[in-house]
């Protein structure tokens, strides 16, 4: 994204919906950095550590990396479940602090698609179907304007096109 002001694109949703695949493709298409909580967890040696303290650490690191890019005047894509309002609020505050436009994109998929995806080993994500169900039950409603994209129903190039149109609004 080449513009005068950076933008923060937040990709959120339940485990196994295709957030990271989508965010990676969008990042490549737009030429901006993409940060993901699962990758941060792996690189930080925090695999299989999901207590509140470790979750806070991972989101703190995501926030820190995003801040560093804003300080360079760069746009960022962040990719995480963002299932709690307090997690979202911290990024909204950061965007306001840097006067950055913020766009929220939820990536969704049907339960059968999710079951199939989470049953396979993935490079960074450790979430299985039980984790999907737990996060789904705890997911707090989104208050911000956002777009929903359904990764199990449309091809990724079509989802990328829809996302870019939404981002440019």
- Average pLDDT of the segment spanning 83-102: 95
Residue 1 — very low, low, confident or very high, per pLDDT cuts 50/70/90?
very low
Distances (CA, A) of 108 to 35, 43, 122, 152: 19, 26, 18, 8
The residues pairing with 10 across neighbouring beta strands, listed in sequence order, are 78, 104
Q: How many CB atoms lie within 10 A of CB 158?
A: 11
Distance of CA 23 to the CA centre of its chain: 7
Residue 112 token pair: 């059968």
Q: Tell me the domains of the chain and their CATH numbers.
A: 7-168 (3.40.50.300)
Length of the chain: 169
Contacts of 132 (CB under 8 A, 6+ apart): 14, 15, 16, 114, 118
Q: Given a cut of 70, is residue 118 above it in pLDDT?
A: yes
Report the predicted TM-score, pTM, of the whole model to 2 decimal places: 0.90
pLDDT digits (tens, 9 = 90+) for 20-31: 999 999 999 999
């Amino acid at each position: 994204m080449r513009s005068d002001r950076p933008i923060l694109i937040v990709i959120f949703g339940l485990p196994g919906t295709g957030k990271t695949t989508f965010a990676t493709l969008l990042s490549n298409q737009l030429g901006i950095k993409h940060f993901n909580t699962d990758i941060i967890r792996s690189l930080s040696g925090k695999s299989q550590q999901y207590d509140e303290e470790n979750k806070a650490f991972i989101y703190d690191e995501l926030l820190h990396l995003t801040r560093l890019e804003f300080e360079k005047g760069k746009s960022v894509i962040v990719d995480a479940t963002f299932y709690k309002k307090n997690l979202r609020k911290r990024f909204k505050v950061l965007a306001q602090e840097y006067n950055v436009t913020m766009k929220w994109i939820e990536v969704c998929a049907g339960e059968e698609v999710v079951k199939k995806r989470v049953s396979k080993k993935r490079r960074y994500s450790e979430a299985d179907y039980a984790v999907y169900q737990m996060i789904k039950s705890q997911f707090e409603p989104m208050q911000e304007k956002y777009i929903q994209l359904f990764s199990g129903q449309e091809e990724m190039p079509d989802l990328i096109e829809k996302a870019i149109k939404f981002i440019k609004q």
